A and B are shown apart, each in its own frame.
Chain A
Amino acid sequence: MSEHHHDHDHDHSELSETELRVRALETILTEKGYVEPAALDAIIQAYETKIGPHNGARVVAKAWTDPAFKAALLEDGSKAIGTLGHVSRVGDHLVVVENTPERHNMVVCTLCSCYPWEMLGLPPVWYKASPYRSRAVKDPRGVLADFDVTLPEDIEIRVWDSTAETRFLVLPMRPEGTEGWSEEQLADLVTRDSMIGTGFPKTPGAPS
């Protein structure tokens, strides 16, 4: 959206009905003194720059390299992450669930879109859309196939439906061939989807 559009209300011809309605609402909220547009800009900028899956990736990489931190993380996710100065805004009630060779975890919110924003950023459209929300609890292997993910037939699948203010983060298994890697190197392998349970971390050496 250009500045031109922001500043010229008469130029409606190029705007959709939704754009017009959203703009009208912001005008009313501003004129009534409820919100300051610059504060809305600041919220958006914070989401675009500060939050994202890099936060979760750092937590996962630390858990892969520091057994004491991993134990603390699985005991109380919010508390353990709170001890890391650089990822401190996690809020209460974050539960970290560990993938193992016997169990694969997946997170969904069948009722709306609950998701650990502070760890993963804003959720992708698919997470909030009907196909994922409807199928994840009934046919998780079918959903995983949509992501080209196949699991061994005997591995247990555990789906966590986020029906309260608890938030869930999947701790994926550390990829093989990463012995001796630093936390920073490992964090580069951690994908957003691997922390939702619809993907795996990247494989060392594979093209990204």
Chain B
Amino acid sequence: MNGVHDMGGMDGFGKVEPEPNEPMFHADWESRVLAMVRAMGAAGAFNIDTSRFYRETLPPDVYLSSSYYKKWFLGLEEMLIEKGYLTRDEVAAGHAMQPAKALKHGKFDLSQVERVMVRGKFGRTAPAPAKFNIGDKVRAKNIHPATHTRLPRYVRGHVGVVELNHGCHVFPDSAAMELGENPQWLYTVVFEGRDLWGEDGDPTLKVSIDAFEPYLDPAS
């Protein structure tokens, strides 16, 4: 979706402000939100792409004015409500009032913690041979799906070169909508900065994205 989250190349956000001796969390609630997101994801309430999609669908003004973990919290709450794990009445009351919905992997307890500290695996068996080879020229499709996609706007319509092939991975556009993993080949595609940003662009710049095969057309 063409949301405010897709901000590569936008102007006006100001300077980057590194914070000396930044703490890991700026408030205790941030750590609780992080833990709840990891736990409910591991319990099978949602996948990583669905959780990203819920954050992206926050109203633009809310997205831009909320801190990082606030966005995580708002996305988590809405996602759990919409998927039937809790109700708006329960959120308003601050207590459980309805029977629980079964979780795919069961309750998240202490025995599960080790598991979430290892990154998930996203590589899958290839259903078909790769269409593109390293060195091929490809054009990022000019597509504007209203649902989740990982093809950023700033490369759409531009030609780049396939540099790496990462194998077949879970396709976020499908997984986010709970339409299955639909594995697709994943490539690193590198673009010349001036192709993306025009004559005024930095002549020494190259930018790559990781692009799933359905995002790409052959280019000569």
Contacts and interface: CB of A to CB of B under 8 A. Distances in A.
A127 B19 CA distance: 11
Interface in B45-90: 45, 48, 52, 55, 64, 68, 70, 73, 76-77, 85-86, 90
Nearest to A154: B204
A134 B27 CA distance: 26
Nearest to B38: A43
Nearest to B148: A111
Task: Bin the interface of chain B by size.
Answer: 35 or more
Chain A: interface size category:
35 or more
A125 interface: yes
B3 to A, nearest CB: 9
A44 B94 CA distance: 23
Given A33-B107, A124-B22, A133-B7, A28 B95 contact: yes
Interface in B29-50: 29, 31-36, 38-40, 43, 45, 48
Contact of B108 (A36, A41, A143): A36
A189 B41 CA distance: 36
B112 interface: yes
Nearest to B154: A137
Given A25-B77, A137-B9, A166 B210 contact: yes
A133 B68 contact: no
A134 B39 contact: no
Interface in B162-216: 164, 166, 169-170, 172, 186, 188, 190, 193, 196-197, 201-202, 204-212
B209 A163 contact: yes
A68 interface: no
B197 A28 contact: no
A126 B152 contact: no
Interface string A1-41: 10000000000000000111111111111011111101111
Interface in A71-113: 89-93, 95, 108, 110-113
Contacts of A108: 8
Contacts of B76: 25
Contacts of A154: 204
A104 to B, nearest CB: 9
Contacts of B109: 35-36, 38-39
Q: Which of A28, A121, A129, A156 gathers the greatest number of chain B CB atoms within 10 Å?
A: A28
A42 interface: yes
A130 B64 contact: yes
A140 B205 contact: yes
A141 interface: yes
Interface stretch (A46-54, A59-67, A175-183, A200-208): A46-54
Contact of A159 (B95, B172, B206): B206
Interface of A: 1, 18-29, 31-36, 38-44, 46-48, 50-51, 89-93, 95, 108, 110-113, 117-118, 121-122, 124-126, 128-141, 143, 146-147, 153-167, 193, 198
